[in-house]
Structures are given as structure tokens and as C-alpha cells.
Amino acid sequence: MTSETVISHSIFSDFDISLFKSGKHFKLYEKMGNTQLEIDGQAGTYFAVWAPNALELSVMGSFNQWNRQSHKLSARWDGSGIWEGFIPGVQVGAVYKYAIKMRKGGYIEKGDPYAEQWQIPPETASVVSEFDYKWSDKKWMSSRKEKNALDAPISVYEVHTGSWKRKGEDGNRSLSYRELAADLVPYVKEMGFTHVELMPVMEHPFFGSWGYQITGYFAPSSRYGSQEDFAFLVNEFHKNGIGVFLDWVPSHFPGDVHGLFHFDGTSLYEHSDYRLGYHPDWNSYIFNYGRNEVRAFLISNALYWLERYHIDGIRVDAVASMLYLDYSRKEGQWIPNKYGGRENLDAISLLREMNQAIYKEFPDVQCIAEESTSWPMVSKPVSVGGLGFGMKWMMGWMNDMLAFFKREPIYRRFHQNEITFSLVYAFSENFMLPLSHDEVVHGKGSILSRMPGDNWQKFANVRTLYSWMFFHPGAKLLFMGNEFAQKSEWMHDHSLSWNELNNESHKGISELVKSLNKLYKNEPALYELSFDYKGFEWIDYGDSKNSIIAFYRKGKDDNSLLVIGNFGVKAHDVYELGVDEEGKFKEVFNSDEKQFGGSGFVNGALLETVNFAKHSRDNTLSLRIPPMGFAVLKHQKTI
């Protein structure tokens, strides 16, 4: 083949180009990359790529013996920087890269930023593909508005697809998307989670990055199967009533030679100034959020996963690193904004525009921010000055709780504020409480390994922590392995330690999580007003001597639950608590039940109040409080 076999052709309208230049084209995946066409009776592939500083650009691949010269694309005349052309005979499955002649001399070979399929790493080329999948999740899609709503129960199971479970002759082969559909979907359903959150599935060259260093933003990783296989996995979750969130990483990308870095020989996707374009924490590169074409790339990518794969929401990684110009930088290593401040105005603008675009197109999804600072109004609408996210991870609660639970119970009386402080600001944002992968890696140990005391106390501490998470206002998230208190910290090269479920203590934690999820979904008081101060009311937070707290969780229609938490090791056979209601209470949950590995210190019979004022309430209830555990009671209304 010669360069004449590239037919001059475009699928861009003038309006497309205008939107692209202004950063307002949010469906670039319909135009860029590779597209199967038939022109003048010839089937082939149309290619389009943005490389404004290239002197020459050609497609090289399996169809032309990787010849840099034979299939040259044409630069558009309109200053858009887009190179394009139609190559007859190039079929689905062809492998390719772009050969780019740089202004500074020499060639650079790059994968396609918009490719929807890549070779299996460590191979680095893009693949010509055409998505073909017949969805059967209509029932879920028509009802997910209610399932993703802020007044619905949202309990998320965070998963790394490559290490959740492994098979193969050596027992160390990652499951495929279809194998995950067969094993993971029924497991998540059995455990009672409402959603899964998949750590980044986008193509990434280094497995040890866990997917957070992406080269193929528009492609599910080929390590686990095809595009259709990934769609099948999502479809199976939906058919079983489970929503799917994806981790999404607009904060940085790696410097791999075949990726976005110096794409046309210049700083194209990344900011050219090292102080703005390089991330010291992750040895990676920061998108140029002020460049229109880059903004269109990122927002198009977010929308792509929601449209193409019916994804129910995105969790945006490392938002704090985007918001602050001085994030992880010392004095002199960053540039103030035009007002002299540390806020990254371009990143703020991008996040707001992205959230507005997503909720306009998909009002029934969730956008969740992993934002670790006190930045105000992250989960408030853009119209009132917020960033426009639906929810934000409650990192303060997580840090306080892990610090508190490391303490020996005898000292906890002096740190009661670490339990209660989160309620001071619990309703300032729509919070999701995370016990995520970040808390069980890099030598931090597992959740279980941090707990003090003997073996029984360690597991009791875990039961108490998880109970507090479920009864605290906010959505919930548990990383895989946490649900059965895996002993070791997570290792991405190995399967979870499923054999631990043969141990009664670990099995008890699993049963606890099942019961917590069931109670959470069945009791509107635990979710209907999760982001409203009306949904929570303290009864007593001052019994630091016994490390006990008591409160009401409330729903919309006079639904309420009485919750008592004991963070100490002493059981209380008679504990008096002031309550509003008169009459009988029934215990509906106790984390010390024997099926959970507890001692069985429960309230077995109906409890009845006495007409005696306590805790500024008209009635008093006497109950048993388990050691290191939670009890939940429900008033039995008379008709």
C-alpha cells in the first residue's frame, strides 16, 4: 500500500470543530479514534487524532508491516490540529499506532488516546474495534434513579478486578470479566451490597498502579477480556439489582512513551510548566485543565463510560490534588493563581463543568469526590457555588475512627470526641463513609491487625467499627476483604484470603456485614434522611467513662431507631437511657450475637419503658449493652 490509499475524508462538521476548539464537545468518542466506515463501496477504518504540533502523522500497524511512511493522514485546514483520513481494508482487530514526526526532529510512536481497545500489556498498541453488545438491563436502567437517589440506601463494595479472586493452574490468574460475572455478582448480591465500585478498569500499562496510571482512557483493560465482556459484567450486575460505580482519574497520567505524555512531541495534554504539569507524589503528569481540547477530552471520557457501558456513577480520584496548586509542593515549587491564591481555578472550572454536563445527560447517576480536605461545598450544586458532586468521601471520619480504634479501650474515655466530632459537620456535605483500599496498603496493615487486645477483642473492635459506620449518617463503602476482616493487608498480586472464611471469627464478620446491609436496606430510618440533620438526634454523647454513645436515627414518616454503641470492653447488664417514646422496644440488631462471633450478650425479650425522666426525655428504658458492640432497638407502636 502507498500513501495514496489513504482517502481524504472527514466525519467532523464545522459545528463539531467549533465545539472542539471551545472545549464544549463532550462526545468526542463518536468522532475521534478509529471508526468503521464504507466509502465508495470500500470497507475500512477512518482515523482521527489531535496532534497540532506534528509535522507529519501516519498510521502504522499490522496492516502495513508497521511502515511509518505508507499511510499518512491529512491535517485539517481549520487550525483544529486534527489529522484524519480513511484507510480502505483496515478491519476490526487490526493493531496500530500513530507515527508522529516532531518539530524538533525525529519520530515518536503513540497509541490512540481515543482507542476503545488496546493490546494486552505489556504490549502497547491500540486495536481497531467496533462495540457490539445487546443490553438486557432495561428494568435496572428504568429504576436506577430511585436506587442512586440520596434518600436511598447506598452500600458500596470496592473491588480491584485483578485480585478479588484468582484461578488457574498456579492459582494466581486474574478472573476475566465473564468469570467475575459468574463469581463476583452473586457474591455481592449475597452480601447485600447495593453497589460495587471498580477500581480503574481503564487500560493501564503497569499492573502495580492498580489502574490509577492510565494510558487508554476509553478502553476497559484487555487483561480481563473484550469490550463486550466488560459490558456483560455490568449487565449482570444490573440484572441482579446492583449498581456499578467506576473509579475515574482526571488528576494525572503516566509518562509512558506510548501514552499521552508529550503526545506530539510537545506538552499537549499536560501543562508545559513543570510546576503545574508534574505530580511529585506519583511521578506522573497533570492535565492542562485550562486547555479547551483537553477539557473536552476529559469530559467526553466521563460521559463515555456512562453512555457506552451504562455505568451508574463515577468516583473521581484525588480531587484534592486537582484543587490546590501547592498540593504536595514546597514553597517555590508552585505558581499562585492570578489572584495570588493556591486554588487551581482551571481545575475548579473543569470539575464544575464536568458535573453539570454529567447530571444534564444522566440525572440518575452519582458523581462522588474523593476529596481529603475541608474544601467547602464539594457536594453542593454549581448554581450556589459548589463543585457540583453528588457525594464526597468522609475522610475525616475515617481518619478519626482508625486512630480511635487503635487505642486500648482503657484509654478511650479520654478520646470520646474522636467518636462524636464527625457529627459536628456530618451534614455540611453529602458524605460517603469509606474504609477503602487506601487504608489497607503500604504497610498500614489490615483493619483487623490494627485492633488492640486479644483475638476476641480484635474481632469485637471490627464489629463495632463496622456497626458505627452503618449507623452513622451517610452512604457506606467497604473495600474487598474488609467484609470478612482479612488478616493481611491487601496485595494486588494475590487473591484475597478466602480460606479465612473457614474460621468462625472471620465468618462471623462476614455474617455481620450481611446483617448490617440487610438492616440498612430494610429500615428507612437509616437512609431516608442520611444527608439531613433531621435524620440524626443525640440522646447522650457524654458518657466517656464507659465509652458509650446513644442516639436516634430517623426517617421521613415517623420512622426511628434507637442506637446504642459501646466502645469499651465492659458489658452493662442494666443501663438506663432516656427515650421519647412510651411503651415497648424490640432489639432488631446486636453486634454481639453469637452468629457474628460475639458473646451473645443481647436483649432477648421486649423491653418496656418507665415513666421517669432521664437525658431530658420523659421516659427511661433499661437495657443490656454488649461489650464492645452496638445494639439497635425499635419502638413497638400500638394500633
CA-based nearest residue to 525, from 151, 144, 191, 146? 151
- DSSP letters spanning 15-55: HHHHHHHHT----GGGTSEEEEEEETTEEEEEEEEE-TT-S
HSE, side-chain direction, 13 A CA sphere, residue 198: 26
- DSSP letters spanning 174-195: EPPHHHHHHHHHHHHHHHT-SE
CA–CA dist 152, 455 (Å, integer): 36
Burial 99-134 (b: 16+ CB within 10 A, else e): bbbbeeeebbebbbbbbbbbbebeebbbbbbeeebe
CA–CA dist 547, 568 (Å, integer): 6
Angle at 620 between CA 615 and CA 624, to 5 degrees: 105
Judging by DSSP bridges, how do beta strands 366-369 and 313-316 pair with one another? parallel
CA–CA dist 214, 369 (Å, integer): 19
CA–CA dist 639, 167 (Å, integer): 56
Pair 437, 199: CB distance under 8 Å? yes
CA–CA dist 452, 466 (Å, integer): 16
Q: Which residues are catalytic?
A: 317, 370
Burial class from Cβ neighbours inside 10 Å (0-12, 13-18, 19+) for residue 541 reads middle
Strands (E), 68-223: 74-75, 82-88, 95-101, 107-110, 126-127, 155-159, 166-167, 173-174, 195-198, 202-203, 216-220
- Residue matched to cell numbers 459490558: 231
Q: Is the peptide bond before 254 cis (omega within 30 degrees of 0)?
A: no
DSSP 8-state assignment for residue 312: -
CA-based nearest residue to 268, from 396, 496, 110, 132? 110
Give me the sign of the Cα torsion angle 59, 60, 61, 65. positive
CA–CA dist 107, 66 (Å, integer): 13
At 424, the amino acid letter reads V
CA-based nearest residue to 580, from 560, 602, 607? 560
At 127, the amino acid letter reads V
Helix/strand/coil for 562 = strand
CA-based nearest residue to 351, from 392, 312, 311, 310? 392
